[in-house]
C-alpha cells in the first residue's frame, strides 16, 4: 500500500508540487524551480519520506514536452521510479472531477487520482534510444525544411527558368547544381556547349560521365533558347533561388551524415539486424523505425505496440449508429508515416524479393470485398509490427519460409 504520493504540475522552468499521505490528505503544497538547488532540496525531501515510510514515495506528473524533461532527468539520475502520464491519459483519469484549471488544482488532481488508478511506472529507456529519437526528429526537421525550400524554389523558377523542372528531376543533385549555375536562360546562352558541359561535370559531386554531361548540356541549351522568362537575369530572385538550391544541397548532405551516425551506433543492436533482414527495409528505414519506436521490449504485447503507433481500431456505437473501423491516430504520427512508406516500398519491390507482407496486401486487394489501398497498407503495417515484435524480442532475423509461423 502506498504511503505517500508526490505529484507535480510542470510548467516552464518550475513545477507546482503537492505531497499526499496514505489517508489522502495533503501534507505539503509548494513550488520548485527546475534548477540544481531546488532539485537537491527535492532529493532530500524524497529521502526523508523514504526513511519515514520504509518505502519510496509514488511520484506522478504529466508530460509537458520539453518542460518536463528536466524533472525526468533528475529522477533518472537519482534512480527514482515515476509515472509520467501523457496528456490524453492525464485528462481521461481526471475528467470525472470538477474542472478548475490552475497549476495547484492540476497537481492535486494527479495526486488524488493516483490512489484509485493502477498506474504503471514509466519505462526508462537506455540513452541509445533517446539519442536515436533525437536524431530521427532532427532528420524529420531537415526533411520539412527541405520541402519548404523546394516549394519556394519552385515558385521562383516558374518566373526565371520554368523549363528546368521539366528537364531534370527536381530532387536530384544534378538539378540543384544546375539551378546554382544557371537559374536564368540568359546565363546558359552566354556560354558555349563545351563550357556548359565542363561546368556541369566539375560542379556535380557524384560521378557524371563526359557523355552524360554533354547530353544534359545540350538539352539545357535548347531549353534556354525556347524559354521566355518573366524576370531578367539581374533580378534579385535569381540570387535567391541559387541560395535555396545551395541550402537544400547542404541539408541533404546533413541528412546523409545523420543516417551514417545512426547506423554506426546501431550496427551492434539486435533490432537493427532484425529490421534490415526484412525485404524492402534499408539502413534509413531501419534506423528511423528504431528512433521513433524506441525500446520495443517495453511493450508487453504487439497490440500495445499498435496503440503506440496509432493504428489500433477505434470503436464507436450509439443506438443504431455504428462507426466503421477507423484507426485511432492518437499514436506516433512520425512512425506511422515511416511504416506506411515502408509498405509502399515493399510493394514496389515485389518482383525482386519474396515478401509475405506483399502477399498479404495482394490477398486483401483481390478478395471478394477487396480493401482500398490505404486500408490494405494499414493492415500490412499491423502484420509487420506483430512479426517485428516477435522477431526482436526473440532475437531472430526475418526468413520468408518461416514467416507463416510467427505472423
CATH code for the domain of 165: 1.10.287.4070
199 and 274 in a common domain: no
292 and 357 in a common domain: yes
Q: Tell me: the pLDDT tens digits for 35-54?
A: 999 999 999 999 999 999 99
pLDDT, position 209: 85
46 and 103 in a common domain: yes
Residue by residue, DSSP assigns 218-279 as HHHHHHHHH---SS-TTSHHHHHHHHHHHHHHHHHHHHHHHHHHHHHHHTTSHHHHHHHTST
Residue 148 pLDDT exceeds 60? yes
295 and 249 in a common domain: no
pLDDT, position 101: 60
Q: How far is CA 330 from the centre of its chain?
A: 14
Asked which of 216-225, 235-244, 365-374 is least confident by mean pLDDT, the reply is: 365-374
257 and 155 in a common domain: yes
Mean pLDDT of 309-316: 68
Residue 389 pLDDT exceeds 60? yes
More confident residue, 284 or 352: 284
Give dist(CA 170, CA 155) in Å, integer: 13
Give dist(CA 340, CA 323) in Å, integer: 23
pLDDT, position 79: 95
Residue 201 pLDDT exceeds 90? no
Mean pLDDT of 289-293: 96
Pair 108, 30: CB distance under 8 Å: no
pLDDT, position 402: 78
Give dist(CA 143, CA 149) in Å, integer: 10
19 and 79 in a common domain: yes
- Single out the residue of 314, 313, 315, 311 nearest to residue 332, CA to CA: 311
Give residue 328's pLDDT band: very low, low, confident or very high (50, 70, 90): low
- Residue 400, helix vs strand vs coil: coil
255 and 156 in a common domain: yes
- Residue 31, helix vs strand vs coil: strand
Residue 350 pLDDT exceeds 60? yes
Mean pLDDT of 264-272: 96
Residue 323 pLDDT exceeds 50? no
Give residue 228's pLDDT band: very low, low, confident or very high (50, 70, 90): very high
Mean pLDDT of 124-140: 95
382 and 337 in a common domain: yes
Give dist(CA 195, CA 140) in Å, integer: 38
C-alpha cell belonging to residue 50: 523514504
294 and 350 in a common domain: yes
Residue 190 pLDDT exceeds 90? yes
Give residue 316's pLDDT band: very low, low, confident or very high (50, 70, 90): very low
Contacts of 303 (CB under 8 A, 6+ apart): 312
The rounded percent of the chain whose pLDDT value lies above 90 is 73
pLDDT, position 121: 92
Number of neighbours of residue 239 by Cβ within 10 angstroms: 11
Looking at the structure of the chain, the number of domains it has is: 3
Containing structural domain, residue 208: 130-263
Give residue 321's pLDDT band: very low, low, confident or very high (50, 70, 90): very low
Choose the final residue of a domain: 58, 93, 124: 124
Q: Tell me: the pLDDT tens digits for 244-265?
A: 999 999 999 999 999 999 999 9
The rounded percent of the chain whose pLDDT value lies above 70 is 92
Pair 379, 370: CB distance under 8 Å: no
pLDDT, position 343: 96
Asked which of 58-67, 109-118, 125-134 is least confident by mean pLDDT, the reply is: 109-118
10 and 113 in a common domain: yes
142 and 65 in a common domain: no
Mean pLDDT of 268-283: 96
287 and 388 in a common domain: yes
Half-sphere exposure of 263 (CA within 13 A, CB side): 12
Pair 364, 355: CB distance under 8 Å: no
Residue 191 pLDDT exceeds 60? yes
Residue 349 pLDDT exceeds 70? yes
pLDDT, position 335: 95
Give residue 326's pLDDT band: very low, low, confident or very high (50, 70, 90): low
Choose the final residue of a domain: 244, 263, 282: 263
- Residue 19, helix vs strand vs coil: strand
pLDDT, position 325: 53
User: Average per-residue pLDDT in the chain?
Assistant: 90
- Residue 351, helix vs strand vs coil: coil
Give residue 291's pLDDT band: very low, low, confident or very high (50, 70, 90): very high
Strongest mean pLDDT among 199-213, 255-269, 324-338: 255-269
Mean pLDDT of 330-358: 91
Choose the final residue of a domain: 124, 158, 184: 124
- Single out the residue of 136, 212, 221, 225 nearest to residue 174, CA to CA: 212
The phi and psi torsions of 189 (rounded to 5 degrees) equal -65, -15
Residues in the chain, overall count: 407
Contacts of 181 (CB under 8 A, 6+ apart): 187, 199, 200, 203
- Residue 21, helix vs strand vs coil: strand
Residue 296 pLDDT exceeds 80? yes
Amino acid at each position: 500500500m502506498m504511503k505517500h504520493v508526490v505529484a507535480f504540475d510542470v510548467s516552464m522552468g518550475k513545477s507546482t508540487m503537492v505531497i499526499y499521505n496514505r489517508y489522502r490528505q495533503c501534507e505539503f503544497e509548494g513550488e520548485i524551480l527546475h534548477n540544481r538547488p531546488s532539485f537537491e532540496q527535492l532529493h532530500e525531501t524524497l529521502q526523508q519520506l523514504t526513511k519515514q515510510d520504509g518505502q519510496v514515495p509514488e511520484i506522478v506528473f504529466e508530460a509537458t514536452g520539453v518542460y518536463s524533461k528536466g524533472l525526468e532527468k533528475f529522477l533518472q539520475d537519482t534512480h527514482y521510479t515515476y509515472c509520467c502520464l501523457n496528456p490524453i491519459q492525464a485528462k481521461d483519469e481526471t475528467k470525472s472531477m470538477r474542472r478548475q484549471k490552475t497549476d495547484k488544482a492540476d497537481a492535486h488532481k494527479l495526486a488524488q487520482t493516483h490512489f484509485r488508478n493502477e498506474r504503471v511506472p514509466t519505462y526508462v529507456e537506455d540513452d541509445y534510444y533517446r539519442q536515436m529519437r533525437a536524431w530521427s526528429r532532427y532528420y524529420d526537421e531537415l526533411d520539412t525544411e527541405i520541402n519548404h525550400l523546394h516549394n519556394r524554389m519552385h515558385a521562383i523558377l516558374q518566373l526565371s527558368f520554368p523549363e528546368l523542372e521539366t528537364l531534370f528531376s527536381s530532387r536530384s543533385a544534378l538539378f540543384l547544381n544546375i539551378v546554382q549555375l544557371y537559374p536564368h536562360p540568359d546565363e546558359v546562352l552566354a556560354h558555349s556547349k563545351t563550357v556548359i558541359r565542363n561546368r556541369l561535370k566539375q560542379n556535380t559531386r557524384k560521378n557524371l560521365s563526359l557523355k552524360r554531361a554533354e547530353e544534359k548540356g545540350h538539352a539545357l541549351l535548347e531549353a534556354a533558347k525556347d524559354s521566355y522568362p518573366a524576370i531578367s537575369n539581374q533580378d534579385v530572385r535569381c540570387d535567391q533561388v541559387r541560395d535555396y538550391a545551395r541550402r537544400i544541397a547542404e541539408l541533404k548532405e546533413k541528412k546523409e551524415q545523420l543516417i551514417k551516425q545512426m547506423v554506426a551506433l546501431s550496427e551492434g543492436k539486435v533490432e537493427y539486424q532484425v529490421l534490415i533482414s526484412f525485404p524492402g527495409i534499408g539502413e534509413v528505414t531501419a534506423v528511423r523505425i528504431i528512433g521513433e519506436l524506441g525500446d520495443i521490449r517495453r511493450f508487453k504485447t504487439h497490440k500495445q505496440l499498435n496503440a503506440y503507433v496509432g493504428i489500433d481500431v477505434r470503436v464507436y456505437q450509439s443506438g443504431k449508429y455504428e462507426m466503421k473501423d477507423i484507426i485511432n491516430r492518437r499514436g506516433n504520427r512520425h512512425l506511422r508515416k515511416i511504416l506506411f512508406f515502408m509498405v509502399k516500398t515493399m510493394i514496389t519491390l515485389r518482383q525482386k524479393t519474396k515478401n509475405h507482407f506483399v502477399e498479404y496486401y495482394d490477398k486483401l486487394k483481390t478478395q471478394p470485398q477487396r480493401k482500398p489501398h490505404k486500408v490494405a497498407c494499414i493492415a500490412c503495417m499491423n502484420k509487420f509490427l506483430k512479426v517485428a515484435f516477435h522477431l526482436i524480442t526473440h532475437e531472430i532475423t526475418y526468413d520468408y519460409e518461416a514467416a507463416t509461423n510467427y505472423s
